[in-house]
């Protein structure tokens, strides 16, 4: 449910900064990068899960718990790194036309 609520606004935000003639290419690139990112991320998390599970001892429940804990920790690290990347790369929002007009008129 969380991904469903974020994908459409994220796509809209990304494509809103593209000129009209480039929207098709930008949309295709966005979808391709989402697919590649999802595949790569899943493969990394499965590898982390498998490696942690192989090195865990105990019964099946403990092995699964160790693998899942390591995979969720790796996912949390990826999320934190993504947040830092977004904050570092983010460009300031353009002022709306009304706010810009008020400033130039000396009222803002």
What string of pLDDT tens digits covers the 108 residues of the chain? Answer: 567 787 888 788 888 888 889 888 988 998 898 899 889 999 999 999 999 999 998 899 999 999 999 999 999 999 899 889 888 887 666 555 545 555 555 554
Whole-prediction pTM: 0.68
The rounded distance, in Å, linking the Cα atoms of 51 and 45 is 10
Reported as type and span, the H/E element at residue 10 is helix 2-16
The rounded distance, in Å, linking the Cα atoms of 62 and 56 is 7
Domain range summary for the chain, segments of one domain joined by +: 39-89
């Amino acid at each position: 449910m969380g991904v469903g609520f974020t994908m459409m606004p994220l796509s809209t935000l990304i494509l809103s900064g593209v000129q009209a003639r480039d929207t098709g290419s930008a949309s295709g690139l966005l979808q391709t990068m989402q697919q590649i990112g999802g595949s790569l991320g899943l493969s990394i998390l499965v590898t982390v899960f498998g490696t942690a599970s192989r090195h865990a001892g105990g019964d099946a429940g403990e092995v699964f718990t160790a693998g899942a804990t390591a995979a969720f920790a790796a996912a949390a690290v990826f999320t934190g790194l993504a947040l830092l990347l977004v904050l570092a790369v983010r460009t300031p929002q353009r002022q709306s036309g009304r706010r810009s007009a008020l400033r130039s008129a000396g009222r803002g």
